[in-house]
Amino acid sequence: MKLAYVGLPCQLQALRKLQLFSDQLGQEWANSVSLTIGLFCRENWAYTCFRALVEDDYGVKLSEVEKFDIKKGKVIGMRNGEVVLEIPLAETKPYVRVGCQVCLDFSAELADLSVGAVGSPAKYSTVIVRTKRGMDLLKAAEREGYVEVKHISEVKPGPKLVLKLTKEKRDENLAEAERRERAGYVAKHIATMGENNLEKLVEEAQGKSFADLEKDVIDAGMCISCGTCVAVASEQLEMVEERPRLKEGAKGDVPNAYLACPRTSLPSMVIAEKLFADEGEMNSDSLGKYIDIFAVKATDKAKLTRWQDGGAVTALLLYALKAGEIDAAITAKRDENWRPLAVVASSEEELRETGGTLYCYVTNMPLLREVASK
Ligand SMILES: Cc1cc2nc3c(=O)[nH]c(=O)nc-3n(C[C@H](O)[C@H](O)[C@H](O)COP(=O)(O)OP(=O)(O)OC[C@H]3O[C@@H](n4cnc5c(N)ncnc54)[C@H](O)[C@@H]3O)c2cc1C
């Protein structure tokens, strides 16, 4: 099965680490992802916190909001084109997931295509093309009329804002990681970014138990709820309210889960070297490695029913499905109360239902494993 995977920067890190260690982990299913689309991400919220903020603090029912957006320092809720909720971002900070506060990646540096709002005018998405796979898809989708593409240099405000947010996130979260280290909690994913001795990382995971994962990641406030540990050790582990737990009666030895976790180590330099090995000369700045940047908008041919910015993600997935480049996409949708759900979309209809941004975290790795292992 050829799968596309849509995720936040940390979810792309989790997937790429799984792919890097797929032999050692015996998790070949991770390699059936043939297309990755990453979303820019400054921060996000656990659903329970987001619900409490919107409904309890602001008195707005989630079911009454049709679309959320973040603009000009505010979380905005819209209904019938009218603003029904405005929350200054500063007020949402206490609700930001603790594991997100030590993430240094804004622009999903390990995706084939990274997509966000900033950098492009309204009704366009900014698309950073990082791999030949991503470039071929974008060009083919443009040729077949699914998307309209402009070079980022032709639009305003341009990539300056992407660079600004990237730097802000990195500086702020690096300072937080340093604060935590002084308190005795090491952000191992940051400490191992430059590590190139992969055998050492495998050896370090040997004999690790769930108690080690709890100590080093979960109780240390580093866990991002990606569910990778559960995906590779599903007989022993389960997710309960966004937290990995040992199943009742299960044995606590989970060396696979420890090695697979993107927060016990993240040799991102090795991952990037392997990922971009065949891409030739590339740009490399604080946005990571990339070929080029564009402003992209879905056309009427994509027949989108809902989307966030330019609808680029959904239109590109629709084209990939139509062209037989993917059989399905692992992505997200919501229920009427904005509870996020990981979904597999394998038809045009299902894909169209997934458009739009959910600012709450969606644990999707266990679903990816289930679908990819079939
Ligand atoms: C938590 C979060 C924070 C973000 N922060 C920023 C930011 O600070 N700056 C910025 O420029 N852009 C940010 N984005 C990205 C932006 O909101 C849009 O998702 C992006 O521009 C793509 O828009 P589109 O119209 O091309 O996509 P669409 O065609 O609307 O498709 C969006 C795709 O993303 C998937 N998706 C939505 N929510 C999630 C989720 N939580 N987890 C996994 N997949 C999801 C959908 O299922 C769909 O496949 C953020 C996105 C998320 C989810």
Name the strand (E) or helix (H) holding 68. Answer: strand 67-71
CA-361 nearest atom, ligand 1: 41
Measuring from atom 12 of ligand 1, which residue has the nearest CA? Answer: 116
> Does the N-terminal peptide bond of residue 157 adopt cis geometry, omega within 30 degrees of 0?
yes
302 within 8 A of 315, measured Cβ to Cβ = yes
List of domains in the chain: 3-63+107-174+278-372 (no CATH), 175-260 (3.30.70.20)
CA-310 nearest atom, ligand 1: 25
Determine whether the shortest distance from the Cβ of 115 to ligand 1 is under 6 A. yes
pLDDT at 155: 97
Q: Which residues contact 181 (CB under 8 A, 6 or more apart)?
A: 187
pLDDT at 281: 87
Neighbour count for residue 299 (Cβ, 10 Å): 16
Q: Which of 109, 110, 128, 106 is nearest to 296 (CA)?
A: 128
Tokens 């974008």 correspond to: 138
pTM: 0.98
- Give me the half-sphere count of Cα atoms (radius 13 Å) on the Cβ side of residue 339: 6
- Ligand 1 pocket, mutate which of 72, 152, 357, 358 (most atoms under 8 A from CB): 357
**What pLDDT tens digit does each residue of the chain (374 aa) get?**
999 999 999 999 999 999 999 999 999 999 999 999 999 999 999 999 999 999 999 999 999 999 999 998 999 999 999 999 999 999 999 899 999 999 999 999 999 999 999 999 999 999 999 999 999 999 999 999 999 999 999 999 999 999 999 999 999 999 999 999 999 999 999 999 999 999 999 999 999 999 999 999 999 999 999 999 999 999 999 999 999 999 999 999 998 999 999 999 999 999 999 999 999 889 988 999 999 999 999 999 999 999 999 999 999 999 999 999 999 999 999 999 999 999 999 999 999 999 999 999 999 999 999 999 98
Q: How far is the CA of 41 from the centre of ligand 1 (A)?
A: 8
Rounded CA-CA distance 280/225 in Å is 34
334 within 8 A of 343, measured Cβ to Cβ = no
Measuring from atom 14 of ligand 1, which residue has the nearest CA? Answer: 40
Rounded CA-CA distance 77/61 in Å is 10
Q: Which of 264, 184, 221, 15 is nearest to 102 (CA)?
A: 221
Determine whether the shortest distance from the Cβ of 125 to ligand 1 is under 6 A. yes
